[in-house]
Structure 1
């Protein structure tokens, strides 16, 4: 198969189309490797909560760029399945702080290892430090640009 036939992405496609393709294929790979864990994009959210204990739902919305409704649905699923818990924020009783449970703490390293396996398989190496840094900068710029929208 020719390179141009994949997903309709061509050299003149927007940069974001390539990023979307990478993300989509990584999730396919993750899901194929951890089929016993019924997660889709929730994997991203559980890792964000694990890395940012006490983050709020609004914090996840800002960090992920997902809608409040999408985040709420994903959090409900993660909570119902025992991966996260919500605690009332003592500084603002109308808001919740999100934390992973022991079950969530157990699954995050597994997801990370599978992600590292995927990166190795597709050719992302430790030498790609500058690439990672630049993509992170672009993501942060995008969050800042759209924060108030």
Structure 2
């Protein structure tokens, strides 16, 4: 229920920027990781190749990011943010922070957060 409502809040908030939750995750990850490839992004976000490809295509069409063919492997593309993409990052962080502040995520016990992360990791590993 929490995840569903978080996803709805974020998608509704991002709609005015012609973005969705998956695109937000892509933009923030690309912002935080230099020289990330499309395959690295797929692996990092635990999403399907087709889901990432669709998100990347839309982000590229809306001028939030650019794909550059890798010099090491011509089958791979390196992803980087455009100036428009860099400019939206603070707004994306603000939208997410507003949800976390409203939900008072910062009041959760540190041990609980660590246990929740462990559960998420176990769930991910179970599906690999």
TM range (shorter): 0.7 to 0.9
Counterpart pick for 1:81 among 53, 62, 76: 62
Counterpart pick for 1:47 among 28, 33, 36: 28
Equivalent runs, 1:1-149 vs 2, <5 Å: 21-40=1-20, 41-125=22-106, 128-147=109-128
State the TM-score, normalized to the length of structure 2.
0.83
1:23, distance to aligned residue in structure 2 (A): 2.8
- The more displaced of 130-139 and 74-83 is 130-139
1:127, distance to aligned residue in structure 2 (A): 5.1
State the TM-score, normalized to the length of structure 1.
0.72
Q: Distance in 2 between matches of 1:122 and 1:94?
A: 43
Q: 1:100 to 1:140 in 2, by over 3 A?
A: farther
Q: Distance in 2 between matches of 1:126 and 1:37?
A: 30
Q: Which runs of 5+ in 1 are unaligned?
A: 1-20
Spell out, residue by residue over 1:66-117, the C-alpha distance to the aligned partner (whole angstroms, 9 max, x if none): 1111110010000110111111222212211111111111112211111111
Q: Which of 1 and 2 has greater Rg? A: 1
* Aligned partners of 1:61 and 1:71 also within 8 Å: yes
Two-structure CA RMSD over aligned residues (Å): 2.1
Q: 1:76 to 1:93 in 2, by over 3 A?
A: same
- The more displaced of 67-76 and 109-118 is 109-118
1:142, distance to aligned residue in structure 2 (A): 4.3
Q: Which has the higher helix share?
A: 2
* Aligned partners of 1:26 and 1:115 also within 8 Å: no
